Structure 1
Amino acid sequence: MVSQSLFASLGTGTKSLLAFLLIPLVIVMPASLYITYDSVTHNLQSKAQTYLNRMDDVITQLHEENQQAIENNDDCMTIRESMLDASPLRELILLSDDMAVCSSKRGMVISNISPILDQQAQAQSSIFFYDNNDDPHQRTLVVMDHSPKGTGALAVVDKNYLIDRLGPIASDQVSYVTFKLGDKTFPKENPYHEATFSQLEHSERYNYSVLLNANSNYVFRRASYAAFFCILVSLMISFALLIANHRYHQRHSLAYDLRKGIQRRELFVMYQPIVNSDNNEIEGIEALVRWKHPDMNLVRPDIFVPLAEQQNLVNKITDLVLEESLQNLKQIDRTALSAQPALHLGVNVAPQYLHHPNNIDKLVEYANAFETLGFTLTVEITERQVLDHTGRETLKVLRNHGVAIAIDDFGTGHTSLSVIQQTQFDYLKIDKCFIDSIGLDTVNTPVLNTIVDLGHRLGVKIIAEGVEQNLQAEYLKQVNVPLLQGYLFSHPIDISTLKHLLSVEPNPA
């Protein structure tokens, strides 16, 4: 109850943080433990197979030596000499009617081996463990073979020799190795019971088994390494999830804020003048939307405009720009300057806005209203928007109703010259990336000259965007670019500054 109350008292942000930290850990930890268990088990299995192979080799060798002794049972001395040279740590005994008649260590003998035979009978096998002097701690391996003639041989292995042949019984990975043959185990002092980290394997050639138990320190080290990497991987996953979650919520929150911002009129319009390249007089302005977020202050257009397109808010923003521009420009009395030509008013319009017939009618109505104020509405669209036939027909309808058309950011899209030639428009706006190449030896410089020449051939007015240096302005003037726009002349300004810049007093209240 206390833990539940404590968790309930945590804030949403804290709960989310705990979730992102704990959930990957809960997922990764079991996988890590499984990998540890599988690794230890696989290692034990490999070692167990090694011990089986060693024991099989010992038993097989003893069988072969027994057969050789049986075949040469007439010459005890020869058998003794050969066995002593080859196997000083084990004894081979020749049998005749269950009596020992020759020993590789003692020579000719006549002795009763009933104690050994009794243990063989109990084991019911020709391979069994034998307790010397009935002492389980002196337990060793016996391999017995018989021939049809009633003779036989048995090999009694010295315990130390057996251990030596099998290799180290314990290591830094294995705490003990226990063999089981019949109802006896070897070594006797080792336990024979399976645990969590143990491996039991059976010989495919002989009737015995081997049990390995992992060293607890080895298991602890493996588990420690696994836990370390588990925590490391978990933290990496948590960090990635936190970043993804932050970006998602930030984007989701910003989209929500943008929707609310449009309703609360947080978006407003600034105006950037467009000047004549000969005398720097203002011949037009471009309406640029800005967003003053209550917490983030000004949000860059390259952030919220793509977001508005994704959230299907761009049409509302376009309406907002048109409406606010109309209300702002009503403050400028240009009726006294009727002899001057109308100023160019550029408004960026997204493709989806032109897909609705109602919006086409709306643009025509705004164009008429702006015309009465001494401004010519110019719809600025990127060249990618005029590729299809429907787009070109829409532009034709707008031009027939007095709306000027400007191809914006020209040179950055993939419009073919044939499409441009088939499209009716009034202004060609050169993208800033080409203006920046002026005075530099870049591939964009000849492209700029080609675009300017194309504009002249098409008979449209050319506007250079992003002019920031006198060198750029002089060059553009020399190649007969009539209209310039950029920070060299003015940053985007509000309506009050625009009124002052145009030197026209507002309408009397």
Structure 2
Amino acid sequence: MKFNFLGQDAELTWYSQDIITASVDTIYGREILCRGFITASQSLIPMAELFSYLYANPALLLEMTCQQIKDSYQESVTTKTPNIKTWINLAGQLITDNDLFEYLYTNVLCSLTVQQKQNLVLEICEDDISDEVVVARLSFLKTHGFIIAMDDFGSGHSNLLRLSHIHFDIIKLDLQLLAKVPDDLWAASFYREIVNVCSSVGSLIVAEGVETSLQSDFVRWAGVDLIQGFLYSKPKPLKQSYS
């Protein structure tokens, strides 16, 4: 997707990272990610700069999200892998802004089939779940058949009351929670307790940031349902993911 980045021609391309079922090591879904490149030099735009620019340009952010959904479903149809769930990061701005949310729902989400809705995971960062508008609209999307996930749970601003405001289908644990486990006994016990609390509300739990076999064994012991991390999959271009 072509766009203008600070006066330079640039392009957004889609990458994806597999999310694995912990019990059987099969692919449960793929999270769609984006990378930005300057067209002339093909140099990578630093992620912090790219997302700062995207969040400052809501119309571009909306266009990117819509295109990610369309392109990922086209790939799944072309390669006949419709049952692998597609994970899309949904920025808080697209939910809180009336016009942006209406466009996203009316022009993209509303046109999806029942099966496509059941295989689309809309993921929102925990910090973006901050007001009644967000809660109401996420609940609206759930009632219309979409899977709703909370990202980065435990990132430092966690509020367990958020789990009672809306029943998240999936909760992704922040990768920083794994930083000291399993060596640190307190950190390991804390991680397992978070898994237990989140599981008690009926959510599937994703362990993010799994990079070693030891971490993989630990999160399985802790009771997570899904695993994401470099040990199993590094981000790769979307077309390669479905080839």
Q: Which residue of 1 aligns with 2:70?
A: 326
Two-structure CA RMSD over aligned residues (Å): 2.7
2 CA distance for matches of 1:302 and 1:443? 32
1:282 is aligned to 2:27: yes
Which amino acid counterpart does residue 258 of structure 1 have in structure 2?
F
- 1:377 Cα deviation from its structure 2 partner: 2.2
State which of 377, 381, 386 in structure 1 corresponds to 2:124: 381
Residues 98-117 of structure 1 mapped to structure 2, 5 A cutoff: none
- 1:344 Cα deviation from its structure 2 partner: 2.3
Contact 1:379–1:403 (CA<8 Å) still a contact in 2? yes
- The structure that has the greater radius of gyration is 1
Q: Which residue of 1 aligns with 2:97?
A: 356
Contact 1:364–1:402 (CA<8 Å) still a contact in 2? no
Contact 2:117–2:147 (CA<8 Å) still a contact in 1? no
Q: Which residue of 2 aligns with 1:472?
A: 215
| Aligned partner of residue 266 in structure 1, secondary structure | strand
Q: Deviations over 1:263-285 (max 9, x none)?
A: x5601111111111122111111
- 1:417 Cα deviation from its structure 2 partner: 1.7
Identity %: 23
1:267 is aligned to 2:8: no
- 1:315 Cα deviation from its structure 2 partner: 4.4
1:258 is aligned to 2:5: yes
Q: Which has the higher contact order (CA 8 A, sep 6+)?
A: 2
Contact 2:17–2:32 (CA<8 Å) still a contact in 1? yes
Which amino acid counterpart does residue 422 of structure 1 have in structure 2?
H
Which amino acid counterpart does residue 240 of structure 2 have in structure 1?
T
Distance 1:332 1:391, change over 3 A: closer
Which amino acid counterpart does residue 146 of structure 2 have in structure 1?
V
Which amino acid counterpart does residue 31 of structure 2 have in structure 1?
E
Q: Which residue of 1 aligns with 2:47?
A: 301
2 CA distance for matches of 1:466 and 1:363? 31
Contact 1:347–1:378 (CA<8 Å) still a contact in 2? yes
State which of 418, 441, 447 in structure 1 corresponds to 2:190: 447
2 CA distance for matches of 1:364 and 1:442? 49
Which amino acid counterpart does residue 284 of structure 1 have in structure 2?
G
Q: Deviations over 1:307-336 (max 9, x none)?
A: 432xx2244134214314412431333796
2 CA distance for matches of 1:274 and 1:365? 28
Q: Which residue of 2 aligns with 1:487?
A: 230
| Aligned partner of residue 496 in structure 1, secondary structure | helix
Q: Which residue of 1 aligns with 2:61?
A: 317
Distance 1:382 1:413, change over 3 A: farther
Q: Which residue of 2 aligns with 1:435?
A: 178
Residues 111-150 of structure 1 mapped to structure 2, 5 A cutoff: none
1 CA distance for matches of 2:158 and 2:144? 25
2 CA distance for matches of 1:374 and 1:404? 7
2 CA distance for matches of 1:292 and 1:337? 28
Q: Deviations over 1:407-446 (max 9, x none)?
A: 1110014242223212232110011111232222165333
State which of 74, 86, 93 in structure 2 corresponds to 1:345: 86
Q: Which runs of 5+ in 2 are unaligned?
A: none
2 CA distance for matches of 1:317 and 1:259? 15
2 CA distance for matches of 1:439 and 1:488? 16
Distance 1:299 1:349, change over 3 A: same
Q: Which residue of 2 aligns with 1:366?
A: 108
Please give the TM-score of this superposition, normalised by the length of structure 1. 0.43
Q: Deviations over 1:328-354 (max 9, x none)?
A: 43133379677xxx3322211222211
Residues 39-50 of structure 1 mapped to structure 2, 5 A cutoff: none
1 CA distance for matches of 2:105 and 2:7? 25
Q: Deviations over 1:139-179 (max 9, x none)?
A: xxxxxxxxxxxxxxxxxxxxxxxxxxxxxxxxxxxxxxxxx
Distance 1:401 1:364, change over 3 A: farther
- 1:499 Cα deviation from its structure 2 partner: 1.6
Which amino acid counterpart does residue 326 of structure 1 have in structure 2?
K
1 CA distance for matches of 2:54 and 2:198? 32
2 CA distance for matches of 1:436 and 1:395? 30
- 1:364 Cα deviation from its structure 2 partner: 6.0
Q: Which residue of 1 aligns with 2:206?
A: 463
Q: Which residue of 2 aligns with 1:211?
A: none
